[in-house]
């Protein structure tokens, strides 16, 4: 038993004493960690319980829902309901805002989540994850108006994710660094394994779905072509490429050893605004990346400053090692913006 490592509760209570993290936030994070632990076991036993495969429904994104997408959503929702300060939930799998309070007040929380990220990996037994973000209200809001949950990423007080891989990781920030926990099989406890995760400024590893090459805009194509040109190209070094098809895993790798992750808008997804969703995918990851010393941008704007206009809005994302992301931002700056589209292809 790893008794020498602080448990999640011990760590959060220290955070409460030193950084003023509220007790209710500590309880909420414990409830979310419990939801993730239950989701991990549902995934592990999925083929015995008949939980793999399609649920026969589609979500608001028009994507076919897996049975485990629905199960994970219900676990997140159920456990978040334990906290009386949660006013509303916004889930990738649910079209409308789920209001838990009729009159949300100052200090209440809104929780945004993608209960199962990368769920196309499920049926082939590859890793997946969950992502969450918490905003605290600084004013009372109207529960009859779903637009009141449209908050900039800068309003997040906490963000995190779980990785359901060979080990289960739980990584969080409450605004004072990024800290990683591992679930101990047997006791079920989350114990601290990585304090102050920091992304190296430089990298020679990148992650992008290269099958979309023909749809990319010029700055992305320029960056990719430079990376694959190797030692004789403009970068003068060899790059490694990784793509797991689950952003959580790619971001976990970047938080662990550096790198850059790109899901840009391109000519095939531009009408939808990109691929990844702002409120429960891009914003929490952007907070984690910035807290770990990295950079998170659309190519032209800081992700955390983007004003959301709808709950399931999509956004182009470029995350990771500071120097590398700045280089890509430079390519966008040099590239003219065409009329009617964000970037020329």
When the beta carbons of 239 and 263 are compared against ligand AHM, the nearer one is 263
CA distances from 77 to 86, 113, 114 (A): 11, 9, 11
250 lines the binding site for Mg ion (CB under 5 A): no
69 lines the binding site for Mg ion (CB under 5 A): no
When the beta carbons of 151 and 277 are compared against Mg ion, the nearer one is 277
d(CA 168, CA 184): 8
When the beta carbons of 104 and 264 are compared against ligand AHM, the nearer one is 264
d(CA 79, CA 91): 13
- Ranges within 243-302 binding ligand AHM (CB under 6 A): 245-247, 263
114 lines the binding site for ligand AHM (CB under 6 A): yes
Residue nearest to ligand AHM (CB): 247
DSSP string over 163-186: EESSSEEEEEESSS-EEEEEEPTT
β-strands 295-297, 317-320 pairing: antiparallel
How many chain residues are in contact with ligand AHM, going by CB under 6 A? 11
Question: Minimum distance between the CB of residue 339 and ligand AHM, rounded to whole angstroms?
Answer: 28
d(CA 79, CA 159): 16
d(CA 209, CA 164): 21
When the beta carbons of 210 and 228 are compared against ligand AHM, the nearer one is 210
117 lines the binding site for ligand AHM (CB under 6 A): yes
Question: Minimum distance between the CB of residue 30 and Mg ion, rounded to whole angstroms?
Answer: 23
Signed CA dihedral, 10, 175, 207, 316: sign only:
positive
Question: Minimum distance between the CB of residue 249 and ligand AHM, rounded to whole angstroms?
Answer: 8
93 lines the binding site for Mg ion (CB under 5 A): no
Least Cα distance to 203 among 263, 261, 260 occurs for 260
Least Cα distance to 168 among 122, 118, 113, 128 occurs for 128
The contact mask relative to Mg ion for 111-140 (x = CB under 5 A, - = no) is ---x--x-----------------------
Structural contact between residues 252 and 163, judged by C-beta atoms closer than 8 angstroms: yes
When the beta carbons of 25 and 251 are compared against Mg ion, the nearer one is 251
Choosing among ligand AHM, Mg ion, none, which partner's interface includes residue 245 (Cβ < 5 to 8 Å by kind)? ligand AHM
Residue nearest to Mg ion (CB): 117
When the beta carbons of 75 and 92 are compared against ligand AHM, the nearer one is 92
Structural contact between residues 11 and 21, judged by C-beta atoms closer than 8 angstroms: no
- SS3 at position 64: strand
* Residues making contact with ligand AHM (CB under 6 A): 63, 92, 114, 117-119, 209, 245-247, 263
* Residues making contact with Mg ion (CB under 5 A): 114, 117
């Amino acid at each position: 038993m790893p008794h020498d490592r602080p448990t999640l509760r011990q760590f959060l209570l220290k955070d409460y004493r030193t950084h003023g993290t509220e007790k209710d936030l500590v309880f909420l994070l414990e409830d979310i960690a419990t939801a993730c632990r239950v989701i991990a076991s549902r995934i592990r036993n999925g083929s015995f319980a008949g939980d793999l495969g399609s649920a026969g429904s589609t979500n608001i994104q028009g994507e076919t829902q897996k049975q485990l997408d629905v199960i994970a959503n219900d676990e997140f929702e159920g456990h978040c309901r334990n906290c009386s300060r949660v006013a509303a939930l916004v889930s990738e799998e649910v079209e409308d805002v789920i209001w838990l309070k009729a009159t949300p007040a100052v200090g209440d929380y809104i929780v945004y989540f993608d209960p199962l990220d990368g769920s196309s990996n499920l049926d082939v037994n590859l890793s997946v994850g969950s992502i969450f973000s918490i905003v605290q209200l600084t004013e009372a809001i109207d529960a009859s108006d779903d637009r009141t949950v449209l908050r900039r990423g800068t309003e997040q007080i906490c963000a995190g994710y779980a990785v359901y891989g060979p080990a289960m990781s739980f990584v969080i920030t409450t605004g004072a660094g990024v800290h990683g926990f591992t679930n101990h099989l047997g006791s079920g406890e989350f114990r601290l394994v990585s304090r102050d995760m920091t992304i190296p400024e430089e990298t020679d590893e990148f992650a992008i779905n290269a099958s979309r090459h023909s749809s990319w805009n010029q700055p992305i194509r320029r960056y990719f072509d430079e990376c694959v040109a190797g030692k004789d190209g403009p970068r003068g070094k060899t790059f490694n490429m990784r793509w797991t098809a689950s952003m959580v895993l790619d971001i976990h790798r970047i938080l662990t050893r550096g790198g850059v992750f790109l899901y840009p808008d391109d000519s095939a997804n531009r009408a939808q605004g990109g691929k990844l969703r702002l409120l429960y995918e891009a914003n929490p990851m952007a907070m984690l990346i910035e807290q770990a010393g990295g950079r998170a941008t659309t190519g032209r704007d800081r992700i955390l400053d983007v004003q959301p206009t709808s709950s399931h809005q999509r956004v182009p994302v470029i995350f990771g090692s500071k120097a590398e992301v700045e280089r890509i931002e430079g390519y966008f700056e040099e590239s003219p913006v065409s009329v009617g589209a964000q970037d020329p292809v």
